[in-house]
Chains A and B, each alone.
Chain A
Amino acid sequence: AQSVTQLGSHVSVSEGALVLLRCNYSSSVPPYLFWYVQYPNQGLQLLLKYTSAATLVKGINGFEAEFKKSETSFHLTKPSAHMSDAAEYFCAVSDPLPGGSQGNLIFGKGTKLSVKP
């Protein structure tokens, strides 16, 4: 079964610094991977997704993630953090169902990003 591990439940960076949020997955089949962001008191919003096309995926708000099969990783990065990036970030893998239809999303535990002025 698929699973996702996010290293670090809390990450703190200074404004303007590099953001790196780590995600490792395990999957018995080629995975589809997602990053979602959750702002306080809001639902989850898709940042980006990997669907077996380009390994470097660009998302909204300047975020990107690189799929590395050899490392079973899908780390999320942003070159320069902004105060508005403070939120909780979830990595997820799509778990295919019998017949290959809609997969359940298996979420990691989340990483809370703080941005210091």
Chain B
Amino acid sequence: DAGVIQSPRHEVTEMGQEVTLRCKPISGHDYLFWYRQTMMRGLELLIYFNNNVPIDDSGMPEDRFSAKMPNASFSTLKIQPSEPRDSAVYFCASSLSGHITDTQYFGPGTRLTVL
């Protein structure tokens, strides 16, 4: 399997622009997670899906952030409008099942810079 795929790997945009990050989970995995990594706050869970349904979005910072999973093989994280403080590395991860001990497999991340 190719693992979790994220695109783009790097994104530079200007404040106020819309940004869309994309993720393809490992085939057969029922859970998909979006994380954000910053120097100040470390790794934070933003939202996760089970079978394409958002389960917990309490980590989404504000209404400017939205995430969708239209099918089992694709998810997007959108920021509109973007702000400089959104600059971070965004990771997508997937896991096979919902068991608490299940391994999460991470993608390579998207490094977002908002100028």
B108 touches A102 (CB 8 A): no
Complex: how many Å from CA A46 to CA B48?
19
Complex: how many Å from CA A32 to CA B91?
22
A44 touches B91 (CB 8 A): yes
Beta-carbon contacts under 8 Å, B47-70 to A: 48, 50, 56
Picked from B42, B99, B105, the residue with its CB within 8 Å of the CB of A109 is B42
A104 touches B108 (CB 8 A): no
A43 touches B4 (CB 8 A): yes
A32 touches B42 (CB 8 A): no
Complex: how many Å from CA A32 to CA B103?
11
Complex: how many Å from CA A117 to CA B115?
39
A32 touches B106 (CB 8 A): no
Complex: how many Å from CA A107 to CA B37?
10
B104 touches A105 (CB 8 A): yes
B31 touches A42 (CB 8 A): no
Complex: how many Å from CA A97 to CA B48?
12
A102 touches B50 (CB 8 A): yes
Complex: how many Å from CA A45 to CA B4?
12
Residue of B nearest to A42 (CB): B108
Whether A12 sits at the interface, judged by CB under 8 Å, is no
CB contacts (< 8 Å) of B109 on chain A: these are 42-43
CB contacts (< 8 Å) of A108 on chain B: these are 42
Q: A43-B107, A97-B56 are in contact. Are A104 and B91 (CB under 8 A)?
A: no
Beta-carbon contacts under 8 Å, A29-50 to B: 32, 36, 41-46, 49
B42 touches A104 (CB 8 A): no
B106 touches A45 (CB 8 A): yes
B45 touches A105 (CB 8 A): yes
CB contacts (< 8 Å) of B42 on chain A: these are 107-110
A104 touches B56 (CB 8 A): yes
Complex: how many Å from CA A61 to CA B8?
30
Minimum CB–CB distance for B95 against chain A, Å: 7
B108 touches A101 (CB 8 A): no
Which are the 6 A-B pairs with shortest beta-carbon distances? Answer: A43-B106, A102-B98, A107-B43, A51-B101, A44-B106, A103-B100
